[in-house]
């Protein structure tokens, strides 16, 4: 089930890109074309920016960098961005230590780290700007069942051992026309620490009506099933194990030709498509005002019952100083992020990401413009 955009893009710049890799475990080459002719990037400021952190967004960052370089070349300006996919925690640490200009992170910077970042930013608040979104599929291997429907509660019970067989009455109620086998369910989780696991468990906390009590975190807390390393690992494990199910980025499910379960959020089953994942983002709320800092209220995404919105979407941030940069760095950060939030989004849907909806991008553009 490939995510595809409607309509053709008029491309003038070929951009090397990769499919979505969860926390840097796996990369898969691809290519796409981006039109940079209308770029609003100023291409001002210092020539070379540095960033580090989330490897889930590394492949999107490759595209952002390529399209930014191309946009500035059209204006006769040479620029570059060096991004090290060293992991979210390391990215935040390097940002606090003033070793990079921005950090990529699967989680918003907060608490003590935000206080330390404020010192680095000369007393100004650090801002969390959500720039890259990737949908997560419930990929499964169940012969004869192509349109499986699950709910937040049944997903939680599958992954904590509360539901152990595919013909359980709770699953049968959601799938009245399916021939569900009397077969044991084999849940497969990430054996390595993963931002995908953290977000999956946050989703279960928000959407399971209290069925998930194990909490969240980068390590799987459900206590049942088998583990496999990396996104490619869990997808391959499901492909070779009839009766199994996992949570994984859609690109890896596609590679193994695995179907993805629809999720019933209370307003009917919702299939994972570019449009349904985008709708969940479009309706997202913010922990604060959403002006400047754009830390997401993840419950508004994960707990949505909006008709046609697919809720299981991984959000990753760029962490920047709202002020306190020197003038050259501030100009370059704003220029790069402007490019990334606009032309940089054009072909992300072809690579397993969700391009930003228009209304969301407008809010992001306002925050980027306000960086001092």
User: Which residues carry a binding-site annotation?
Assistant: 54-56, 88, 106, 194-196
Give Cα separations from 81 to 100, 101, 365 (angstroms).
11, 10, 19
Distances (CA, A) of 346 to 137, 212, 297, 309, 359: 22, 37, 25, 21, 15
Find the DSSP H helices in the chain.
58-73, 88-96, 111-120, 152-160, 169-174, 195-207, 230-239, 250-255, 274-282, 298-302, 327-341, 358-369
Q: Which residues contact 302 (CB under 8 A, 6 or more apart)?
A: 202, 203, 205, 206, 207, 311, 312
- Cα separation, 131 vs 243, in Å, equals 36
CA distance 322 to 368: 9
Burial class (CB in 10 A: 0-12, 13-18, 19+), 191: middle
**Which token pair is 192?**
């390595």
CA 173, CA 167: separation in Å to the nearest integer? 10
CA distances for 221 relative to 41, 161, 192, 201, 215, angstroms: 43, 12, 12, 8, 7
Question: Which DSSP state fits 33?
Answer: E
Annotated binding site for phosphate: 54-56, 88, 106, 194-196
**111 and 102 Cβ atoms separated by less than 8 Å:** no
User: Radius of gyration (Cα) for the chain, nearest Å?
Assistant: 20
């Amino acid at each position: 089930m490939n995510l595809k955009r409607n309509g053709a893009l008029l491309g003038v710049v070929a951009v090397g890109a990769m499919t979505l890799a969860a926390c840097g475990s796996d990369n898969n080459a691809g290519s796409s074309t981006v039109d940079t002719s209308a770029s609003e990037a100023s291409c001002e400021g210092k020539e070379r920016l540095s960033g580090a952190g989330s490897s889930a967004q590394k492949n999107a960052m490759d595209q952002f960098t390529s399209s930014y370089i191309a946009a500035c070349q059209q204006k006769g300006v040479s620029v570059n961005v060096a991004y090290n996919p060293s992991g979210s925690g390391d990215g935040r640490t390097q940002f606090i230590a003033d070793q990079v200009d921005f950090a990529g992170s699967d989680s918003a910077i907060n608490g003590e780290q935000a206080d330390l970042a404020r010192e680095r930013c000369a007393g100004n608040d650090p801002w969390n700007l959500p720039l890259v979104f990737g949908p997560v599929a419930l990929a499964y291997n169940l012969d004869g069942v192509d349109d499986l429907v699950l709910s937040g509660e049944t997903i939680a019970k599958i992954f904590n051992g509360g539901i152990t067989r595919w013909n359980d009455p709770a699953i049968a109620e959601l799938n009245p026309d399916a021939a569900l086998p009397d077969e044991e369910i084999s849940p497969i989780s990430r054996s390595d620490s993963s931002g995908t696991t953290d977000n999956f468990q946050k989703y279960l906390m928000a959407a399971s009506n209290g069925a998930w009590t194990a909490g969240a975190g980068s390590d799987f807390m459900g206590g049942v099933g088998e583990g496999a390393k990396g996104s490619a690992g869990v997808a391959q494990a499901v492909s070779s194990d009839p009766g199994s199910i996992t949570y994984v980025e859609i690109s890896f499910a596609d590679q193994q030709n695995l179907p993805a379960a629809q999720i019933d959020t209370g307003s009917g089953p919702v299939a994972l498509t570019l449009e349904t994942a985008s709708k969940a983002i479009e309706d997202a709320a913010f922990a604060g005002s959403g002006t400047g800092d754009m830390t997401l209220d993840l419950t508004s995404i994960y707990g949505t019952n909006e008709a046609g919105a697919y809720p299981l979407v991984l959000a990753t941030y760029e962490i920047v100083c709202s002020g306190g940069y020197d003038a050259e760095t501030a100009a370059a950060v704003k220029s790069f992020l402007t490019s990334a939030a606009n032309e940089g989004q054009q072909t992300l849907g072809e690579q397993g990401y969700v391009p930003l909806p228009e209304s969301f991008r407008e809010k992001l553009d306002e925050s980027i413009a306000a960086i001092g």
